[in-house]
Amino acid sequence: MELSPVCTEGISTDGCIIKSDRAPRKSKVPRDVEVDIEFLHKAVPQLAKVFRIVDKIGEGTFSSVYLGEAQMRDGSRERFALKHLIPTSHPTRIAAELQCLTVAGGRENVMGATYCFRKEDHVVIVMPYMEHQAIVDIISSLTFEEVRLYIYHLLKSLKHIHQFGIIHRDIKPNNFLYNRNSKMYALVDFGLAQGTADTQIELLKDLTRLSKVPRPVFGEKNLNSCLPASSTTKQAAIMTELVKPIKTEDPASRRYSSASRGPVAVRSQSQKPQRILQQGLTCNCYMTDRVCNVCLSRKQQVAPRAGTPGFRAPEVLTKCPNQGTAIDVWSAGVILLSLLSGRYPFFKASDDLIALTQIMTIRGSRETIQAAKSFGKALVCCRELPRQDLRTLCETLRGRRPSPDDEVTPLHGASKDSAQHPKIPDDTPTHRPTDGISKQHEGGVGQTLSNHPENSSSKDASTRLDKQTSEVESSERGWDRVPDEAYNLLDRLLDLNPATRITAAQALQHSLFKDL
Ligand code: ADP
Ligand code: MG
Ligand code: ZN
């Protein structure tokens, strides 16, 4: 199909290769979707000249995505995804998203843009529609080979955008579309993208110049905000957010009192102990698990921290100011961990310090502290969490390894032994693997188990049968012969230190992909 340049003012009939087909809608959609479609038609009326909007396919904090059909000049009908951005998005932000799609997209597993419509502050980006399955729906039936190919293609898209100096910043399965039947892959959503120092995307440079115009992050707490005192989650109980405010004043951080205590704290290494502040007050909290009132009155450190907590790299979670393309590689590692263990989402954290603690439970607290030191952050953790063997972890979570039969111990605070062999329900066909560490952090692995019927009843004949069936299925799906290379690559993607972390280009050369 011939592409005309993206037009930002609306579409002119002669510049346009597709035309409208305003036949009345046949397919029935729920009433609320109908209302949304009507709203979109009112907001951007020129869409109706081109598309029959048939359904809503995505709804996020920053956009709604619709399925539109258009009659092509040759008489064929084609489907498009129409991404309607929230009107409050900064114009440069929107233009940068569009430029990523048009400059880097359309090849190498990266989604391209076909058109863009605008009326006043309403912008709709038109992309080719790609049918896809949600990972959460298919994770329990994926074969190892599919996982290997999925990661290969994800890395391919990352190598490509990284060559353009684009940091995606929101790599997660929802933004990497996968069509299982046609084996198609597409990286979408450049709504949080940023440029490297030498980016080829002009508008990403502008974005940096504009002193950062991040999308507001709703529904999650900032590292410098505080946990509610009444927070009941396990981790909220064992840890508190203790980040030294450095740059900007945030009244919210003042809500925090010295009553806050916990095992994890992050601060810049440049913050010297016993430092005399302007007010002439001495800080006495350095390398303790407290933040003193002197430090609480400091300004907050500003660093990009967009994305989804469970996929954020340690350097993002600790607000390291110089972040690069390695942050996307970390997120790809979290996806691989999720797919190998059959748990999605793997990490589910409501804020950055919980996310950091969850990383420590897998990669080790000492190792995390060491890595943070390399990028200038001092991490304090009052409890040592051992690094886990990735194969053991994934096979246990898949139910391929026996778990101890004794009393279940939560992963956090577990003894060295039981932490390395968390007791997890079997990957039986009846069990829908979803949350990995997410469940565990709500109430430890024990909670996950006690909810599982198999745990309460003794293992009878039918359970054994289930197990045999699941073993056969698992073997058919290749999970009984996952090569060491897969765990080696996982270890390299989840390198806590961004400076030594494998790059997407290097990862494509990994021996796991030697035949591709
Ligand atoms: P947001 O910024 O709101 O997350 P995305 O660009 O990620 O917006 O799109 C949201 C969802 O819409 C995606 O997760 C995907 O399911 C769907 N989607 C986006 N682009 C396309 C496309 N080109 N084809 C099919 N579905 C798409
Ligand atoms: Mg998205
Ligand atoms: Zn202090």
User: Would you give per-residue pLDDT tens digits along the chain (516 residues)?
Assistant: 433 434 433 443 333 444 554 455 556 899 999 999 999 999 999 999 999 999 999 998 889 999 999 999 999 999 999 999 998 889 999 999 999 999 999 999 999 999 999 999 999 999 999 999 999 999 999 999 999 999 999 999 999 999 999 999 999 999 999 999 999 999 999 999 999 999 999 999 999 887 554 555 444 433 433 333 333 333 433 332 333 333 333 333 333 333 333 457 776 665 544 444 445 567 777 777 777 888 778 776 666 656 789 999 999 999 999 899 999 999 999 999 999 999 999 999 988 999 999 999 999 999 999 999 999 999 998 899 999 999 999 999 999 887 754 333 334 333 333 333 333 333 333 333 344 554 444 333 222 323 333 334 444 666 677 777 777 887 889 999 999 999 999 999 999 999 999 999 999 999 999 999
Q: Which atom of ligand 1 is nearest to the CA of 188?
A: 6
DSSP code for 351 = B
The residue type at 139:
I
Ligand nearest to the CA of 188: 1
Q: Is residue 449 part of a domain?
A: no
Structure tokens at 450: 């006690």
- Do 341 and 195 lie in a common domain? yes
Ligand 2 ion: residues within 5 Å (CB):
175, 189
Cα separation, 287 vs 337, whole angstroms:
32
- Do 138 and 124 lie in a common domain? no
- Do 487 and 361 lie in a common domain? yes
Domain boundary among 79, 108, 129: 129
Domain with 497 in it: what CATH number?
A: 1.10.510.10
The residue nearest atom 6 of ligand 1, judged by CA position, is 189
- How many whole angstroms from 196 Cα to the centroid of ligand 2? 21
Q: What is the enclosing helix (H) or strand (E) of 102? A: helix 91-103
The residue nearest atom 21 of ligand 1, judged by CA position, is 81
Residue 19 DSSP SS3: strand
- Do 103 and 149 lie in a common domain? no
List all residues 6 or more positions away from 444 whose beta carbon is below 8 Å from its beta carbon: 234, 408, 409, 410, 411, 412, 413
Instruction: Look up tokens 């190892």; give the residue.
Output: 144
Probe target for ligand 1 pocket from 130, 177, 188, with the most ligand atoms within 8 Å of CB: 188
- Do 342 and 382 lie in a common domain? yes
Instruction: Find the residues whose C-beta lies inside 6 A of ligand 1.
Output: 57-58, 60, 62-63, 65, 81, 83, 111, 127, 129-130, 174-175, 177, 188-189, 191
Ligand nearest to the CA of 60: 1
- Do 164 and 89 lie in a common domain? no
- How many whole angstroms from 174 Cα to the centroid of ligand 2? 6
The upper half-sphere exposure of residue 52, i.e. CA atoms within 13 Å in the direction of its Cβ, equals 16
Cα separation, 368 vs 362, whole angstroms:
10
Number of domains in the chain: 2
Instruction: Look up tokens 């897998």; give the residue.
Output: 362
- How many whole angstroms from 200 Cα to the centroid of ligand 3? 42
- Do 92 and 206 lie in a common domain? no
Torsion sign over Cα 462, 451, 409, 394: positive
Structure tokens at 127: 């992309």
Residue 202 is part of which domain span?
A: 131-213+262-399+464-516
The upper half-sphere exposure of residue 302, i.e. CA atoms within 13 Å in the direction of its Cβ, equals 9
Look up 170 and say whether it is catalytic: yes
Cα separation, 69 vs 142, whole angstroms:
31
Domain boundary among 103, 129, 155: 129
Ligand nearest to the CA of 191: 1
Ligand 3 ion: residues within 5 Å (CB):
283, 285, 292, 295
- How many whole angstroms from 59 Cα to the centroid of ligand 1? 8
- How many whole angstroms from 316 Cα to the centroid of ligand 2? 18
Domain with 76 in it: what CATH number?
A: 3.30.200.20
Domain boundary among 90, 107, 129: 129
- Do 49 and 173 lie in a common domain? no
Cα separation, 274 vs 15, whole angstroms:
67
Catalytic residue among 21, 36, 170, 389: 170
- Do 30 and 6 lie in a common domain? yes
The residue nearest atom 23 of ligand 1, judged by CA position, is 129
Structure tokens at 369: 């502290």
Probe target for ligand 1 pocket from 57, 61, 132, 215, with the most ligand atoms within 8 Å of CB: 57
User: What is the structure's pLDDT at 271?
Assistant: 52
- How many whole angstroms from 150 Cα to the centroid of ligand 2? 18
Cα separation, 498 vs 372, whole angstroms:
10
The residue nearest atom 10 of ligand 1, judged by CA position, is 58
Task: Say if residues 99 and 81 touch (Cβ distance below 8 Å).
Answer: no
